[in-house]
Amino acid sequence: MIGSTTRYLQSPDEALAHVAGYSVSNDVSEREFQLERGSQWDRGKSCETFNPFGPDLVPASQVADPQHLGMRLSVNGEERQNGTTANMIFSVAHIVWYLSQFMVLNPGDVINTGTPAGVALGIPSNPYLRAGDVIELQIDGLGLARQRTVQA
């Protein structure tokens, strides 16, 4: 989460000073919207109730290095994802710097930084979420989030 107005940063080295804190966020995707209606990512990620955030916002000062956090996700107790922020294509600092080049980031803005390997789209059987599924996400030092899916 952004903590101060951020625009036109000179380099990624300046970026983390503009981060207020970090949290767990469930980057839910509605694949029909995304794949069958034009494949634009925002169509599959902007539905009501998507992107549950929290339960906590950990101040940036309490996160020694956002590029060394373990991340895990399970559905109904079955592990689906187990990764680390060290494997991100772009670092948190780079993402904040990059976005500041063409948009003003304001205090309270949230930037989702991506998902570890293991999303259902990449699994041959496509085990998509169904009503009643329980999703648990955990990021080391940031907390555990639990959601139960319901039919829309």
pLDDT in tens, the chain (152 residues): 999 999 999 999 999 999 999 999 988 776 666 666 665 556 556 667 778 888 899 999 999 999 999 999 999 999 999 999 999 999 999 999 999 999 999 999 999 987 777 676 666 676 788 899 999 999 999 999 999 988 87
What's residue 58's pLDDT? 97
Topology (CATH) of 12-148: Fumarylacetoacetate hydrolase; domain 2 (3.90.850)
DSSP the chain: -B-S-B-S-SSGGGGGGGB-EE--B-----HIIIIITT--HHHHH-STT-S-B-S--EEGGG-S-TTS-EEEEEETTEEEEEEEGGG-SS-HHHHHHHHHTTS-B-TT--------S--GGGSTT-----TT-EEEEEETTTEEEEEE----
Asked whether the beta carbons of 149 and 135 are under 8 A apart, the reply is yes
Instruction: Provide the pLDDT for residue 39.
Output: 59
Please return the burial class of 120, using the count of CB atoms within 10 Å of its CB with bins 0-12, 13-18 and 19+: middle
Model pLDDT, residue 95: 96
pLDDT at 32 (0 to 100): 64
How far is CA 29 from each of CA 130, 144, 146, rounded to the nearest angstrom? 12, 20, 17
